[in-house]
Amino acid sequence: MSRIGKKPVELPSGVTASVSGQTVEVKGPKGTRSFTATDDVTITIDGNVVNVTPRGTSKRARQQWGMSRTMVENLATGVSTGFKKELEISGVGYRAQMQGNVLKLALGYSHDVNFEVPEGVTVTAPKQTEIVVEGIDQQLVGQVAANIREWRKPEPYKGKGIKYKDEYIFRKEGKKK
């Protein structure tokens, strides 16, 4: 039995949900998101509570049960509060700044890196060493943050590079004489 799937999803105030077939559409103050579940689960709405139940006891139905419930919860969270990833840049001369829809990164290469921000997320650089990625789609926010981090991953000796704000970099000791 799925422990996650058993919990009903309570919709925050200002958020409404509707089900048509296997598609759940959630509307909130930040926008509208939808998710199409597989035929292995049944989705019902009771007032401001969304319930997900499996159709049958097959392994696939039980897998989809918890995953579908989590997807519906992420839709509700995204349209009400949104998702946010914070990145930090450390290293001498490493910096970031926004110019229109392009994030310009100086990361020690012979050229600046121009990162085109995709539709659906907003990227801001409040300081030269901080980047904030926000949006209503959790997967897209995480993917954009990972793509930015990919340009210069943090290295273990000095910790230079782009890291998540809550990430711990395992430090190594350098060569000894």
3-state secondary structure at position 70: helix
Instruction: Measure the CA–CA gap between 66 and 7, rounded to whole angstroms.
Output: 9
* 141 SS3 class: helix
Q: Do 66 and 88 share a domain, yes or no?
A: no
Q: Say yes or no to pLDDT of 1 above 80.
A: no
Q: How far apart are CA 72 and CA 33, in angstroms?
A: 10
In a shared domain, residues 87 and 160: yes
User: Cα separation of 110 and 85, whole Å?
Assistant: 28
Residue 43 β-bridge partners: 52
Are 124 and 155 part of one and the same domain?
A: yes
Do the domain assignments include residue 105? Answer: yes
Instruction: Specify the amino acid at residue 114.
Output: N
Average pLDDT value for residue range 138-160: 94
With respect to residue 70, please indicate whether it lies within any of the assigned structural domains.
yes
Round to whole Å and give the CA distance between 148 and 135.
15
Q: Tokens in use for 96? A: 């970031």
Domain range for 27 is 3-80
Mean pLDDT, the chain, whole residue set? 92
Number of domains in the chain: 2
- Asked whether residue 75 falls in the same domain as residue 92, the answer is no
Residues 75 and 97 in one domain: no
Q: Are residues 144 and 73 in the same domain?
A: no
Taking the model in full, what pTM does it have? 0.88
70 and 125 share a domain? no
The confidence score (pLDDT) of residue 118 equals: 94
pLDDT tens-digit readout, 55-108? 998 999 989 999 999 999 999 999 999 999 999 999 999 999 999 999 999 999
**Is position 15 within any domain?**
yes
Residues 51 and 98 in one domain: no
CATH number of the structural domain spanning residue 45 = 3.90.930.12
Q: Is residue 115 part of a domain?
A: yes
